[in-house]
Chains A and B, each alone.
Chain A
Amino acid sequence: MPYAFVRGRAFRDIVIVLVLVFGVGSIAMLLAHVSPLVAFGALFDGAFGTREEVAETLVQATNLLFPALGIAVAFRAGLFNIGAEGQLILGGFAAGWLGAQLPLPWYLAIPMVLVAGALAGGVWGAIPGFLRARFGANEVIATLMLNVVAVLLATYLVNGPLALPGSGASETPSLPHAAQLPDLVADSRLTWAFPIALGLAFVLRWMLQRTVFGYELRAAGDAPEAAKRAGIDLRRTAFVAMALSGAIAGLGGATIVAGELHRFNTGLSPGYGFIAIAVALVGNLDPLWIIVASLAFGVLQSGGIAMQAEAGVPRDVVALVTGLVIIALAGRRVVAARRST
């Protein structure tokens, strides 16, 4: 696509997002009888006011960046993985459950915790990938339902057969210090998860643009029929892309557990997996632009908490605006022709 065209659209998208955030946001704030100036002031102050608040903004950006990258991988392959939320939760559970009982030094414990999360998320992504590759089952509906099942399954496991001694209701015991991700900024929840996420974005960008696997994945997404006739195995691509997508989201869940909460609990995600859809779309499914988008949404997330606490505007406004951003940006090139396996 000609560069000027892309740039024009990116500009249009930014205008749409700004109008939605400030327009709809202001209306909602007025409904809550709060001046938009006060509320947005509280929001931005909450996101940037102090060193710790900036750190928390980066924490929220990190938590969105992982699932958004996973979603982008699937979308680029022509697969609507709406199941990042479930993949993230199960990844968090696997990390918390394994991490809480690992008597190992940090250089073994941390990688194992992260890998466990990626594996669990990968399996949860691979299920709809398999159903699609093997039976042609619609991955959208499958992932939507697996989100619900994931929460139920994690709740069942953490309270039932995999309950560990010393755990509370719906959570695992605390991870030993060796299994926790080291802090990046003292007195904050910002850990090494942030640079890991940034590095992952660059790796994925390279993978998509520079490797044979990335080439085949994009071909399968952009022109499935042509890709099939050129010898690309669409079933295998669908399976691998979904598994990889789930693994990235699961890794995100693991970093939340190992970095911020230091334990798994069933409420670890306030919908990161869904907000990440907006992040991926605003980032034009390009890993590097997704970094930028995740920072913007990280501001809304961390500032939203302050806005609720200090200005009395429910932070659900942020989710409302996010949903509207998704609707508005659904018009961009997402997937050309999907109905073909």
Chain B
Amino acid sequence: MNPVLAGILAVLGLTLVKATPLIYAALGGVLSERSGVVNIGLEGIMIAGAFTAVVVSGLSGSPLVGALAGVLAGAGVAALLAFAATRLGVDQIVAGTGLNIAALAAAAFGLVLIYHQPGASREVPAFGHAGENMLILLAFLAAAALHVVLTRTPWGLHVRACGEDPSAAEAAGIDALRTRFTAVVIGGAIAALGGVYLSLAELDLYSDGMTAGRGFIALAAVIFGRWTPFGATGAALFFGFFAALQYSLQRAGVPSELMQALPYLAALVALAGFAGRVRAPAADGVPYVRQ
């Protein structure tokens, strides 16, 4: 094969690999924010998913069981944020930041408890290549499914109503707090798959800091994608492309730290370029308090 073509194909393939965890996290963010809850805790949810998946896969010997456990863990962590955001009416951004800190620390604590070593787990049964491809495909299917749910189902309409105007939604008999809670929890389950992908598909272990701020890039992808599932997927692919590019450029002799910074810088530029030109859901990030 033509070496240039082969190089391009390699970058595109790697783009899919690098984009997949971002897609899951961004889809979770889209669902959460369309219901009116800004989920800064995506990073922590990914950590919970990645860590739990590894532990349970190691215990059960089945990566599939591990993945399911990871998804449940993500949903559980998201439920904590959802509870704080809907029942305690806390500032969602501050609470999400706390969630990230707590999740990272809990995983580090768990590593010592379970594997008796800091830093990383031992290797566990993982998905391998076929499973990885399935998870990549599933990410795109999840985007399509979320699109249908949001635009074509009653629950999706209720979620959007709560994200735009929860008091009007309640006037129509919708329980806005419960709808938001459910949306955040399901969003957490989806985002956790991004963590599962990192620990059981791309690798076969959990190590401290392995999510490396992907949850934050996903937040930028939500904005960049205008709060739609397909838009966020496209934005995740865009950032994934820059993450893939770093490997090619690294081979060309560009220092690795600068290349690692590339997707973050791309997200920053996108953030600045898109701010003011896109509109968030009207009640995004605004706690709803019943009168």
Contact = CB atoms under 8 A, between A and B. Distances in A.
B276 A148 contact: no
A146 B213 contact: no
B290 to A, nearest CB: 16
Interface residues of A, number: 51
A322 B40 contact: no
B255 A160 contact: yes
Given A152-B257, A156-B258, A324-B102, A331 B89 contact: yes
Interface in B109-143: 109, 112-113, 118
A142 B97 contact: no
Contact of B94 (A31, A32, A80, A145): A80
Main secondary structure of the interface of B (DSSP, over half): helix
A330 interface: yes
Chain B residues touching A, range: 35 or more
A323 B105 contact: yes
A124 interface: no
Interface of A: 28, 31-32, 80, 82, 131, 134-138, 140-142, 144-149, 152-153, 155-156, 160, 271, 274-275, 277-278, 281, 314, 316-320, 322-331, 334-335, 338-339
B109 A82 contact: no
B276 A136 contact: yes
A262 B213 CA distance: 30
B102 A323 contact: yes
Main secondary structure of the interface of A (DSSP, over half): helix
Interface of B: 40, 80-81, 84, 88-95, 97-106, 108-109, 112-113, 118, 212-213, 216-217, 219-220, 223, 255, 257-258, 260-261, 264-265, 267-268, 271-273, 275-276, 280, 285
A334 B91 contact: yes
Give 9 closest A-B pairs by Cβ, nearest first: A323-B102, A326-B98, A319-B105, A323-B101, A156-B257, A330-B94, A330-B90, A327-B98, A320-B105
B271 to A, nearest CB: 5
Contact of A145 (B90, B102, B268, B280): B268
Contacts, number: 157
B284 to A, nearest CB: 9
A45 B216 CA distance: 39
Contacts of A329: 94
Nearest to A141: B219
Contacts of A322: 98, 101-102, 105
Contacts of B223: 138, 141
Contact of A131 (B88, B257, B272): B272
B267 A145 contact: yes
A271 B271 contact: no
Nearest to B212: A148
B212 A323 contact: no
B102 A137 contact: no
A320 B113 CA distance: 14
B109 A152 contact: no
